[in-house]
Amino acid sequence: MPTNVVGFGTIYIGERDYGCDGSYVTTEFVTALYLPVVPLRSFRAVETNSSFRWLGPSAGYARTGYRVQRRPLCWRQVGAVYGTLALCIGSFAVFLHALAARG
């Protein structure tokens, strides 16, 4: 289960490959200052009404309104997360360059 303190730790990032039951694949990343550093594992998650429910070692576990099941690491999602991060950092760099050029 992800744990994050002041941007350092692990969090779930992204949603991909939606199922007809409303489930989706998400990936747990190690983060530093809320930025994804290393992908750890992927899960298929579905929202539930219960707050916590143990599903057994082969099925997974539920976390605050979600039921998750372990899946192989989803490299398409990892690539999309890193691509989005690169786009955001690049846009911010262009913005800073334009600001410096004005003044």
Confidence (pLDDT) at 43: 93
Residue 72's pLDDT is what?
A: 94
At residue 59, the pLDDT reads 52
Cβ-based neighbour number of residue 98 at 10 Å: 9
pLDDT of residue 53: 47
Question: Whats the size of the chain, residue-wise?
Answer: 103
Tokens 């846009």 found at: 91
Q: Are 46 and 22 in contact (CB under 8 A)?
A: yes
Query: Could you tell me which residues come within 8 angstroms of residue 61 by beta carbon, excluding any fewer than 6 positions away?
Result: 1, 53, 54, 55, 67, 68
Q: What is the pLDDT at residue 64?
A: 54
Distance CA 46, CA 77 (A): 17
Please indicate, yes or no, whether the overall pTM of this predicted structure exceeds 0.85. Answer: no
Per-10-residue mean pLDDT of the chain, 103 residues long, equals: 85 91 92 94 83 49 70 94 96 96 83
| Rounded distance between C-alpha atoms, residue 27 and residue 8, angstroms | 16
